[in-house]
Structure 1
Amino acid sequence: MNTLIAELNTFIDGVSAMIKDVETHFAKRQNDFRSMCFYNIYNRGVLTREIVTLLEKSARPFQEDDKEAQEVERMMIVTRGLFIDVMSSIEKAAKDCVPAYWMNDIKEKALEKNSYLYLRYIIYASAEKGLVSEKQLKEWDSVFLMRNLVIHNNSESDRSMIFELDDLRISMRPDRMMKGPSSTFVILSEKATELFYEWLKNVNEAYKR
């Protein structure tokens, strides 16, 4: 549990630093959609930490008969919600970013392969324009895979593989719940936020007026 809270602290501190940078260099008005995205992520991170802390200090003493696996599962449910909200905030902000920057054709390229504007195709179009590196694109694909399995498959894997992203390793077997450390979804949230932050910096640099 302490490891999970430490990971949440790292995540929250990182997002706080991003907020300051975005407000200083990117945002053009109060409540700018770019900074609001990071505020939403920050607040969700704080809420998640509060819930985890509450479970540790209040609920755990009354659940002495529970197995450790059940406790970990509760933490995974809480942090899974964090990951879903982070991805939702990023997707909305990316969609708002595309038309906000002058003379870019990211939206047009993203819609060439799909009739709806989705984050995945925004990132693919950005990669074609050199705004996302090959390494970052692979990391985005890893994040997209996990998001889809979490949202559309109840966190059950549809393939057999060892998922690796930086130091995170998750065992995946078809029709089985994915197995990773208790901090899995915090780490994924952190990676997704970092990737979006880097994408935003590149777009801002390429198309700012």
Structure 2
Amino acid sequence: MNLAGVMIQLFFPCSPPWYENLYGLAPADYSMPGSPAGLEAIDKLFGIDLYTSTFTASPMVFGAFPSLHSGCATTEALFMSYVFPRLRPVFVLYTLWFWWATMYLSHHYAVDLVGGSLLAGTCYFVAKAKYLPRLQNDKALRWDYDYVEIGEAKEGYAYGLTDLDDDFHPATTDSDEWTIGSSSSFSSGTRSPPAGASSPVDDAQSMWEGDTLASGSDTEAQR
């Protein structure tokens, strides 16, 4: 996220609000020093030289868009909301407070903050889909996991066809087993009735077997 943001700032330099407050619409160049803007009041309040020297010597004087301040705050809020979903409102308020602070201190316009958050959100959701461990809601800590699944859960077949698996592959029952046995009996050319049961087909077959060609020939000989 930071690398992509800096590349955008280098190729598309944009001035922050403090530049307009100091120079108006005068043409800008990189020989102009940076400014701590509203953060200078903190140095004066505590009698330190932290923000003044840091922002004055910054090489990215015109790197207002996208705001990496907003990007970092958004990344933190998204990740912490992923780990602690119930505290999401707190993290959203933190990001909004960060937005207000950067505009109040004349370091960013609103469009800079939106651009930074969009960049951070894109990077975060790509990382979540490919690299972040999948949450296990029944575990309190990451160290309690017995196994780790990376990325988002797969939906299976498209268009919800997983619901049709039961229709195509019904559970095996006793009636299914009888059907399978009957079909195998047909394929082998025989059907075996239950033990102790008689079949009309068997009776007819035994009568036919008694009237064989040999018996017919004996009858002719007797004649």
Place the TM-score, normalised by the shorter chain, in its bin: under 0.3
What's the TM-score once normalised by structure 1's chain length?
0.26
What's the TM-score once normalised by structure 2's chain length?
0.25
Greater strand percent: which structure?
Answer: 1
Larger Rg: 2
